[in-house]
Structure 1
């Protein structure tokens, strides 16, 4: 089978597509014929040896896949050959086949394109877990989304609106904010155009913001937190800016606010049934039109390294998808 391979840690340009042996599922595992794979920040980190979990060299990157089950290992029940599924894999998704633990599978309903399913698990799954389980967002609350044009950011805009929240989307350029507007954002804030705290005060007044979704970190964190309201929840999702911020701890005290970590990957392992329920809700919202995930670019497997570079350079909004099936990601083999 064909796979994108990392033989030495480094840049995406060092990756190569080559033939590797077809893997076989072991006990408790299934093999997925990959239709499409999502591109995410951990893919860039893992090839540079900058991720907290690291497979041994050589390896196939790619942590998010959707496709069809085409082999079932010993002891696996409840699934059948040909089932449409999605899964998080840590590595291995940028290949024609990937083996995953059966208990990590998410059933993909008919009507949900596999190319879209490949783009939803991490971004929308993180957003929903953050807003539903970690923040317990209520209808009518105000949610600020930083980095609102990125994968998790744009998903958070969509999910917050589907939950009945008022959404303030903050991003770095008008064209990126326009994408958030298309997905339901009520207020747009360009944090490159002026002082973020001043803009948020104008948007929200003295009441303060109920929930802040922060997948960015860096210099935006403190001014955003200073805009939070009483009993507000600041969701720490990630650090796309590359810098881990230091929040003065007198601020959560004075604001009577909480700093809440969102460790979505660990959540999916520790609470797999809740994760499946979350994804079932998201797929239902997709099918009834409440979600419209943005896939801004699609690449064939042969150009997967280029897709990782585009994501690393932050030159794509929403999600990037690798269409692994040469004849289309939704054609059943």
Structure 2
């Protein structure tokens, strides 16, 4: 089978011919049809992610495909079942073996490309907003990086939860995409006085921040008293240094959130969240946005799109014809 493999951190992945895997007990072998790319793929390739596979490894945190067979003595979805998998690695290959408990059976109407990029982005936004920030109908949600992989889903999810959504992104094209996803108001992240502009919009009760850097600082100062700030990631490359005096005076809560961590300490909460999201998708309430679909041999191009923040929504690597 063909697969991308990283053999040394900080060096480019190589497309190789590798032996097809054999499922062990408790595993299913999947014919992988699509893999969703995430900013974490960049961090993992550089050895800067919180969960780091041993070398060599096949990158690709999440995927969708079809069950081929099960390991000896394993009970699980039968061959032919369409599934999505949050694997942590292994998605950028034509086949892979994964624990059966990580398989998410897919509704018949869900395209593989959408399923491949669904779990992390939508799961992050829903669990962060509903479980951690307790976003309420009528509250104002500010989404930074609102046209990116997770940011765009936060716009959609926030709208479904009844919030007034302010989307912050760079440039008219990205702002138009955020507005089409349901944002009530938009603001360019390059605004010369972002803090004042956000305050003029009334400030925010909840801030969803996958960016960090100066945008976090502006959002902090535009957060209303008793507000909540979700720290999702640091796509800007700068981790904010938070002035505790502002938190004290305004009674603001800053909440760290990592979706994958729930697999280890509260998996049922994560599964319940995904069940809600799949129901919303089936009802037509979510419309995943994929800006780039690339074949397997163009994976480095997909990573570069993420590195340059040139993509909107998801970048998906299509490994086989969609079924």
* Residues 306-325 of structure 1, C-alpha deviations (whole Å, 9 max, x = no match): 11122112111111000010
Please say if 1:282 is aligned against 2:277: yes
Q: 1: CA distance between counterparts of 2:41 and 2:235? A: 13
Q: Superposition pairs for residues 136-215 of structure 1, below 5 Å?
A: 136-204=134-202, 208-215=203-210
Task: Indicate conservation of the 8 Å contact 2:126/2:157, yes or no.
Answer: yes
Moved more, 300-309 or 74-83: 74-83
Q: 1: CA distance between counterparts of 2:278 and 2:208? A: 22
Q: Quick one: which of 217, 222, 227 aligns to 1:227?
A: 222
Q: 2: CA distance between counterparts of 1:273 and 1:72? A: 24
Q: 2: CA distance between counterparts of 1:143 and 1:217? A: 16
When normalised by structure 1's length, the TM-score is 0.93
Q: Quick one: which of 38, 45, 48 aligns to 1:47?
A: 45
| Counterpart for residue 4 of structure 2 | 4
Task: Indicate conservation of the 8 Å contact 2:70/2:76, yes or no.
Answer: no
Please say if 1:321 is aligned against 2:321: no
Distance apart, 1:75 and its partner CA: 4.7
Moved more, 242-251 or 78-87: 78-87
* Residues 104-147 of structure 1, C-alpha deviations (whole Å, 9 max, x = no match): 22221111111101111111110001001101111111100001
| Counterpart for residue 135 of structure 1 | 133
| Counterpart for residue 69 of structure 2 | 71
When normalised by structure 2's length, the TM-score is 0.96
Please say if 1:93 is aligned against 2:88: no
| Counterpart for residue 20 of structure 1 | 18
Q: Which runs of 5+ in 1 are unaligned?
A: none
Q: Which runs of 5+ in 2 are unaligned?
A: none
Q: 1: CA distance between counterparts of 2:67 and 2:121? A: 23
Task: Indicate conservation of the 8 Å contact 1:171/1:190, yes or no.
Answer: yes
CA RMSD of aligned residues (A): 1.4
Moved more, 314-323 or 82-91: 82-91
Q: Quick one: which of 267, 272, 286 aligns to 1:272?
A: 267
